[in-house]
Amino acid sequence: MNKFLIVGLGNIGTEYSGTRHNIGFDVADCLVAKHHGVFQSGRLADVAELKLKGKKLIVLKPTTFMNLSGKAIKYWMDKEQIPMEHVFVILDDLALPISRLRIRGTGSDGGHNGLKSIQEQLGSVQYPRLRFGIGADYPKGRQVEFVLGKWDKNELPIIKSKIDKSVECVESFVLQGLAATMNMANKLEFS
């Protein structure tokens, strides 16, 4: 059976719930709920196992906090013997407008601490990731407050729509591969 590691990045704790920085957790929650899975507390992460047309998905929400996400990913990749090309990381991205998703098979950390940690632990930038645009609508010097802030009410319909589409992207990645998923997702515009 083909195995995939699907990782939503975020921070544990109720104070981070529903924040822009936790969108990876929100997508992971939506994916697991859609496929009637349940998260269990595991080593370095909350973990759910799903089956999708003969494929096994290990869905992770690292409990290490964002800056140490790589530790959880490395542990579960090794434990489950999952190759790097079967890892799919979902994260927030300030550099993308709120109307966009972007999927890449490689790339820099772009200043994202979660990606920095993954790169350090894996010794590579060659792993697929879905960047969930959160925009950069904040005053100079207020980046941290913005990223750790909750969505505005008027943003919620777009965010809900993008979360649903992100779940479809995960399913597409598992069933049709990276190239087909990039073609589908990277041209989408949400409004």
Active site annotation includes 36: no
Check if the beta carbon of residue 72 is closer than 8 Å to that of residue 45.
yes
Q: Which one is catalytic: 21, 35, 36, 86?
A: 21
75 token code pair: 């542990």
**Residues with Cβ within 8 Å of residue 72, at least 6 apart in sequence:** 7, 43, 44, 45, 60, 62, 63, 64
178-to-86, 87, 173 alpha-carbon distances in Å: 9, 11, 5
Q: How far from chain centre, in Å, is Cα 29?
A: 11
Q: Which residues are catalytic?
A: 21
